[in-house]
Structure 1
Amino acid sequence: MVSSLRKHYERITAAQAAANAGDQVMHGDAYHLMHAQLFEDYRRLKSVQSVERKIEIKREILPNYAEYVAGVLDAGRGAEDEVLMRIMLWRIDVGDITGALPIARYAMQHQLDPGEQFQRSTPAILAEESAEQALALADDDDSMLEALCEINDLIDGKDMHDQIRAKLHKAIGKGYRASNDLPDALNHYQRAFELNDRAGVKQDIDRIEKALKKQAAEQAGQPQNNAQPG
């Protein structure tokens, strides 16, 4: 178990390294130590074929990077950081979108590059990976809705394939539907369809439109409680 003193040291040295790196590329002992750890953990993950087991391993190792990430976010000025970007993705992979958001905010603020190995921009990664996690949830689970809405705000105006943005709107629509907010659900499903007519939302749109029409008809047929007798 890592002592509180050790955690404090890791956070302080990471903050110093981030401050010293400015807006260039991360360097320094704290970064190189974490980068070496990342390399070993990545090798371990590559040796495992089971996706389920990979997720378990990521959950196991993510706490080892927590103090480094906190230090960089405390004092960083936008230096490119392979460790930070990889941890953001691993947080999303394990379904911890809330844990990924502080890194996402920092990465978007400083326009950090995820690296050639990702083959997508940071906004595209955030949109697609978080949407896929949310779409895998049960139909009545809206636990990721708030985080998805923030990600949608973070990537507003950023260039990416329409299919990726459509997937995010589909996930947000699903979240609103799970929270029984049908008008907002419909708006996002419709936006997903506009961006990609193969997004798989046509039936969702039809069902919600029918449900809203039914609600409107029922409300129109209700007697007015405040009507005065003639």
Structure 2
Amino acid sequence: MRPTLAQRNQLRKRAAQDAAAAAPAALMEGLNTYELMLAKLQQDQLRLKQVQSQKGKAQLKQVLLPDYEPYIDGILAAGKGSQDDVLTTIMVWRFDAGDFAGGLDIAAYVLQHNLQMPDRFARTSGCLIAEEVATAASIAQKTGEPFPLEVLARTAELTKEQDMPDEARAKLTLAQGRAVMQGLDETAPGEPGQVQTGLDLLKRAIELHDSCGGKKDLERAERLLKKLAGPAG
């Protein structure tokens, strides 16, 4: 049974109060609201384990996520950076469910306060954030679906100072380059300088990781740039 609006508001207030009381770099463990949400998270994780399909898991996460919104809103509003496994897990769930704006809202807080991912994720927070968004973009782009450039740009900005393998950053940069070049041709050259921007991103991705898969994209971008420069020349 879904909580009422009053119950959701009360949960958000309690989460904010607990988060404001917790010292930075401390754990949220022992605080009543956190323990309540952690218990719920563990129950929901058991439900997810019963679903084998990744698409099915994503759909179930879409159903489960609204129950965590009041808690997340309270933490983001008043938190001081206490380590919070509920918050970091829900960030990943939002990415999995396609809520990239919501996931990046949490990501900004996570990176600002240097929160660590639970051990099962086996990656640093910055690397995971970059790869989660880049992977989703790559899947969409390979099937011909557009992926929001603003999501990729925000992810790149948030993670630009984060240490991660070159392959991970290359994957995100490649996705940016492809998003910039999406739909451009001689009849639709985009904004002034857009092709050059896309070309530069594709070059950077290849420089970071030669096997990132962007060489054909770069060749197409270079051909288009030459064609567009031809009449002017």
TM-score by length of 2: 0.90
Cα distance in 2 for residues equivalent to 1:96 and 1:182 = 28
Letter in 2 for 1:42: Q
Count of matched residue pairs: 220
1:99 Cα offset (Å):
1.1
Cα distance in 2 for residues equivalent to 1:127 and 1:138 = 16
1:142 Cα offset (Å):
4.2
1:141 Cα offset (Å):
4.5
- Equivalent positions of 1:209-220 (< 5 A) are 209-220=222-233
Equivalent residues of 1:55, 1:94 under 8 A apart: yes
From 162, 178, 189, the equivalent of 2:202 is 189
Equivalent residues of 1:163, 1:199 under 8 A apart: yes
Cα distance in 2 for residues equivalent to 1:161 and 1:149 = 19
From 106, 111, 115, the equivalent of 2:114 is 111
From 167, 174, 186, the equivalent of 2:171 is 167
* Offset from partner CA, 1:16-56 (integer Å, 9 cap, x none): 11112121111311111100010011111112111111111
Equivalent residues of 1:58, 1:94 under 8 A apart: yes
Structure 1 stretches lacking a partner, 5+ long: 221-230
Cα distance in 1 for residues equivalent to 2:90 and 2:195 = 35
CA RMSD of aligned residues (A): 1.4
* Offset from partner CA, 1:59-105 (integer Å, 9 cap, x none): 00000100100000000000000000000001111221111111011
- Helix, strand or coil: the match of 1:199? coil
| Runs of 4+ displaced beyond 6 Å | none
- Equivalent positions of 1:1-230 (< 5 A) are 1-23=2-24, 24-27=26-29, 28-138=31-141, 141-178=145-182, 180=184, 181-220=194-233
Structure with higher Rg: it is 1
* Offset from partner CA, 1:86-137 (integer Å, 9 cap, x none): 0000111122111111101101110110121111000000110100111111
1:143 Cα offset (Å):
4.1
- Helix, strand or coil: the match of 1:211? helix
Equivalent residues of 2:141, 2:147 under 8 A apart: no
Cα distance in 2 for residues equivalent to 1:187 and 1:204 = 11
TM-score by length of 1: 0.92
Equivalent residues of 2:181, 2:195 under 8 A apart: yes
